[in-house]
Structure 1
């Protein structure tokens, strides 16, 4: 019974969406220039922010997992703060730091660099909200690795970099791959912080979620439903890819 209720609560809304999609008009709706620009921007910024999450998140997750102490615990808590912030609050904290009059943004503005309301702002937002998801996923994978393997390699003369490349990362590969795909999906779906910090500028900051909002506010529910279906399709591809990548990484390990 609980399984049936949970299934109904999750799949019911999706079924409602599918039943209301204007299938006959769908190709034309998705081919509209503004939708194509939003799609290209979303995929490009999500891919870039995911790459940043991987470059920063793997070493951070290793340090957070292997080091001990109060300072590490505090750093871990600070890193995970974006997980509990509401989207609007996330946008505001980014605005007060990266914005034109923000703590760091004012320094950039003094040399002619403006971050807010630009494609760079979209990437910054996506990294801010996605990095904790990636780090948690990698930390979970690292927690399952026997530290004796790394210690044995160290006693045999392996450097920290060699241990990371040849032991830690390969063993944590399933978690890294899954975390990468989840970070991409999280970046792709970000809305609240994006509109607060980056705005909704056609071809510059208007990602797919913002295009959906604009379509609804412009009395174009058909376009909104079409873009929603596009996002759902991308999410399904990501979920299937995450499952397949996890299994493949386990076999290669």
Structure 2
């Protein structure tokens, strides 16, 4: 068994990087969910159920499948990957950007489903009354829908953050496991176990459990609040 030595690169770096990626990815998934959930609740069109099914696919697909799809779309041989590399002078794959994209994709379905359900529960008669008095859709969103659905908003963000924090498979395929650069908590745990460094693996696991427990406790309190 490998000896365990505390250092920032071994413990602190994966924690900080995971929190950074989860914060950005959770926020992106949350904002996208607001816009898309509002649109899907408001409009009806042919093939709507198919579009919604596509949105939910990352929730049920194996992470390796999601990772392979993202590699195909964002890899250096794709036009998106080549354009991004030309603009930023670095590839998307094996970078923090790739990790953020992967985490955003897998966390989006949770945020979307939570917000869509929350928006659907807002009383439509109240909204129609406000429309009849001249309120614009933006005013309805800002002054009525978002305040009335605030529990769903907070829950959606927390769930997206937690899912992004725990993302492993797709992130590993797209961003790799580069210590100090793309190594997150889940990948650090996996490779610590693979190296038979169980003290390190358990230290990172306990930290991950504590963070996840706090997030789930927060979500439960929000859902149970009146």
TM-score band by shorter chain is over 0.9
Instruction: Give per-residue Cα distances to partners, 1:61-107, cap 9 Å, x unaligned.
Output: 11112222224323212211211211001111001111111241122
Which among 7, 11, 14 is matched to residue 38 of structure 1? 14
Which among 206, 209, 213 is matched to residue 232 of structure 1? 209
Residue 69 of structure 2 aligns to a residue whose secondary structure is helix
Please give the residue correspondences for 1:60-99 in structure 2 after superposition, counting only pairs within 5 Å. Answer: 60-99=36-75
Which among 175, 179, 197 is matched to residue 156 of structure 2? 179
State whether residues 30 and 36 of structure 1, in contact with CA within 8 Å, keep that contact through their aligned partners in structure 2. Answer: no
Question: CA shift at 1:32, angstroms?
Answer: 4.9
Unaligned runs of 5+ in 1: 1-24
Instruction: Give per-residue Cα distances to partners, 1:46-72, cap 9 Å, x unaligned.
Output: 001111112211111111122222243
Q: Does 1:168 align with 2:145?
A: yes
Instruction: Give per-residue Cα distances to partners, 1:140-163, cap 9 Å, x unaligned.
Output: 112212211111111100011000
Which among 174, 189, 205 is matched to residue 197 of structure 1? 174
**Matches of 1:220 and 1:81, distance apart in 2:** 35
TM-score, with normalisation over the residues of structure 2? 0.92
Greater relative CO (CA pairs within 8 A, separation 6+): 2
**Matches of 1:246 and 1:203, distance apart in 2:** 37
Instruction: Give per-residue Cα distances to partners, 1:124-178, cap 9 Å, x unaligned.
Output: 0110000111000111112212211111111100011000011111111111111
**Matches of 2:69 and 2:117, distance apart in 1:** 28
Unaligned runs of 5+ in 2: none
Partner of residue 11, structure 1: none
**Matches of 1:54 and 1:38, distance apart in 2:** 23
Question: CA shift at 1:189, angstroms?
Answer: 0.5
CA pair 29-171 structure 1, distance change in 2 beyond 3 A:
farther
Please give the residue correspondences for 1:99-110 in structure 2 after superposition, counting only pairs within 5 Å. Answer: 99-110=75-86
